A and B are shown apart, each in its own frame.
Chain A
């Protein structure tokens, strides 16, 4: 009976060491804090109706940003712990972590950064920007979108669940390669948490990708042929097509590994006829394209940024699109370069090495189109453009080292070394993360209605660049010295320690950069009056997202624009073509179906982790019932009458102050500095303490 309701959960599964108790306590404290604030401000209803059940892609986009932002901090703390361990665990010293614990942390770090930070931000940006760029009011399936988001949140909760129950995460590396991840070598629940965290969020990604393909291909504004589509939309389309092509492989692979672990099947076991090498192949057939799924939208962001800030249309648009297409197709056929060292024949290795070389050709083409775009332009260097220049520098370092790794004999020496780790961090930090930062600072005025503080943004940028060099140049060198990745201790005679110390210092500089970015947002909120942009078009934008208000109304556009050229909005501005004919708008109703299904899906996964079969069955039945009810519901939209649209627009325009002020392009003296911010916070706090303001709360 106990087993039926609780499976393998016992009191021993509850946290009992300081890290787990600390983690659990932190989470509980955060929830309690949020709950208290929500109750005191009577915001529960608002939270539920306006946000959690919203199907508005703009709100879902913002929620993606928030979750991904939290996870970035969570994954960043992991980095500091890991590097501190590597500084301390020399010779006899155990450092601050046991080997097992250290291995769990780097596994969690990889999973969090790829699945929940990079994917979260990319999906957030696509959610917010793509519908605006293509002049759509909504997504093809608002329901799939909220479901995809909540499944992603389900994955986030699952990956942090081990703090509370079980106390262990996978200690296998981020791809949990077999047979290490099999039940024989990893008998605990860690790998099960890994499987279900990735499975749940991965299914969410597939659904989201299907949705965006439908949206981009079927819901563009009239006149926007494929050849007139903005480049970020193209990049998102390629990214989502790749996601649809490879995420099913991940789903299937996780499914098979689950069968091995739960039912004792023999897919990837060493004994019983299983084939561990098949796992390596399958997981990398998904894993390699996955990094390009993240990279392509970043390429798209840079194309938009370079074009806007050079005040020129993108040069060789067709070459740019073909370049991205080439990258996506080739990315599907290079997976074996992740295990040249497995002992395949030299023909096989040479083939995959060659394809890896070839993939750099379309990437180089993208670089050339950016150079040509800047050529004869009039370039402003606001923060989005700074991130672009940072990207060029660091991504090139990563690309060069990646091409060296494409040579199988070179890879024999560099594979699994810290050189490899430095290589892919150059690409994901310099490429994906800087792309995300560039995109966020570029579109922030659209999302918030005021631009970001330039000064602090610049400070943050330089912290990231300096911190990156301090951390990763030593890491490249360590790789050349023969240091493998994932070392939880080593001998001082290797001479590694000074380099690890510099890496940790670099990590701290990056942490300062990240903190400054948070400060930047807070400072911008404080100065929002000063930074406000009432035009909706602070950068003299070219594409449709700038054609509507900032922040856009929930129906995106009062009137769906007609697109004539690639730089649709620029031409509208030039020709002064703005329709003001209001029309009825169909608006999808908010729904809690996404949350409910995600909760149940989470419970299915949790049930499987702990062998609680009753929970699995009950949750599955729940999912079926909800689906059956929702799928046949005929009440999912309502009509917003033209008169109401007109009223809403009038209200919005009335709010705009009369003195419309053009936002200045470069950092001006009025933007507060970090020190101004610190002074402001101190004054604010002193004011509260002196005047006993908390009494009124």
Chain B
């Protein structure tokens, strides 16, 4: 850098101030973040981990083009500033053909790189894709209600509200639907990204949890007055602990039949955890069919074939 190009004292002062401010601010944020559950980064299962890695990888690639571009812009602005010198001023300077090709080709190339990750990762992490693992998978039916989550374990015959327990290293298939509730979004960020729970639809979300612990889950989509309180705990435990929890639940719970379901479905906010046993096996199918039946017959059949089996 020649003497001519030297950064002026006022700009230097500004830069120092800016970096000092940003540094202090970052330090403060870092202090506040220590010991907190940074859910999306602290993934506790393969799905969430892959999603996290994808976020980080794409961020790096995008920053690789964005940061140099912006720095180039700043540098150009500074290099050709008025107070510098007018000797470099060429108002007639034209951009050539090559420049025009480069400005289209360069971002296109970067997008191509990103596209080669986007497509396979989208297919790979499609939520309804079954996951391979050594242990057999379990199925949990989830009904979003105003404003609570009902979890039905069809194989175990139990049901819970605002609490779900999962065995470790076991593929879990959540079948999400909603009953008498607006669209809601099922999200346990430590374990997997979210998926909508909608009336008359079954959205399947597969995940595996690898680390024991309690993870917060909630509705991520606004669905009315009780939205903020529509949360649950997802507890990941060893398979043995899971089995014994199922047994305990069976001994200490009220039954969930059609009448109890009608009471449960009434709007309520900030619900406590509840457990049920035995559970009427037709409840879930009824909750879905109630809305599918309201379409034509044709629609009902296709939905039934795709969703229920």
Interface residues of A (CB under 8 A from B): 99-100, 103, 171-173, 177-180, 185, 270-273, 276-277, 280, 310-313, 315-316, 318-319, 339, 341-343, 345-346, 349-350, 353-354, 357-358, 360-361, 364-365, 367-372, 374-381, 389, 392-393, 396, 399-400, 403-404, 406-417, 466, 469-470, 473-474, 477, 479-482, 484-490, 494-495, 498-499, 502, 665
Contact = CB atoms under 8 A, between A and B. Distances in A.
Nearest to A385: B77
Contacts of A474: 29
A276 B183 contact: yes
B58 A407 contact: yes
B50 interface: yes
B242 interface: no
B69 A367 contact: yes
Contacts of A177: 182-183, 222
A378 B89 contact: yes
Interface in B234-293: 269, 290-291
Contact of B122 (A342, A353, A365, A488): A353
Contacts of B290: 271
26 contacts: A99-B225, A185-B182, A277-B198, A310-B80, A349-B122, A353-B119, A360-B111, A365-B103, A365-B104, A368-B106, A371-B73, A372-B95, A372-B99, A376-B89, A393-B70, A400-B59, A400-B63, A403-B62, A404-B59, A407-B55, A409-B121, A410-B54, A413-B193, A477-B29, A495-B36, A499-B29
Contacts of A498: 32
Contact of A272 (B33, B55, B225, B294): B294
Interface string B146-180: 00000000000000000000000000000000000
A480 B38 contact: yes
B305 interface: no
Contacts of A417: 189, 220
B27 interface: no
Contact of B73 (A103, A354, A392, A403): A392
B295 interface: yes
A510 to B, nearest CB: 16
Main secondary structure of the interface of A (DSSP, over half): helix
Contacts, number: 288
B224 interface: yes
B100 interface: yes
B33 A350 contact: no
B40 A480 contact: yes
Contacts of A396: 66, 69-70
A173 B219 CA distance: 15
Given A374-B77, A502-B29, 14 more contacts: A271-B290, A271-B294, A343-B127, A357-B114, A365-B104, A372-B99, A375-B93, A376-B89, A379-B82, A399-B66, A413-B51, A482-B40, A484-B218, A489-B229
A25 B259 CA distance: 49
Contacts of A310: 80
Given A343-B203, A354-B119, A407-B58, A271 B291 contact: yes
B104 A361 contact: yes
A310 B218 CA distance: 51
Given A360-B107, A371-B72, A404-B59, A377 B115 contact: no
B222 A173 contact: yes
Interface of B: 21-22, 25, 28-29, 32-33, 35-41, 48, 50-52, 54-55, 58-59, 62-63, 65-66, 69-70, 72-74, 76-77, 80-82, 86, 88-91, 93-95, 99-100, 102-104, 106-108, 111, 114-115, 117-119, 121-128, 182-183, 185, 187, 189-190, 192-196, 198-201, 203, 216, 218-229, 269, 290-291, 294-296
A558 B70 CA distance: 43
Contacts of A353: 118-119, 122
Contacts of B35: 495
A356 to B, nearest CB: 9
A392 B73 CA distance: 9
Contacts of A378: 80, 82, 86, 89, 91
B294 A273 contact: yes
A526 B283 CA distance: 73
Pick the 3 closest A-B CB pairs, nearest first: A412-B193, A482-B39, A180-B182
A400 B40 contact: no
Contacts of B89: 311, 376-378
A66 to B, nearest CB: 33
B39 A374 contact: no
Given A313-B91, A346-B122, A392-B70, A413 B55 contact: yes
Contact of B227 (A374, A480, A486): A486
Contacts of B29: 473-474, 477, 499, 502
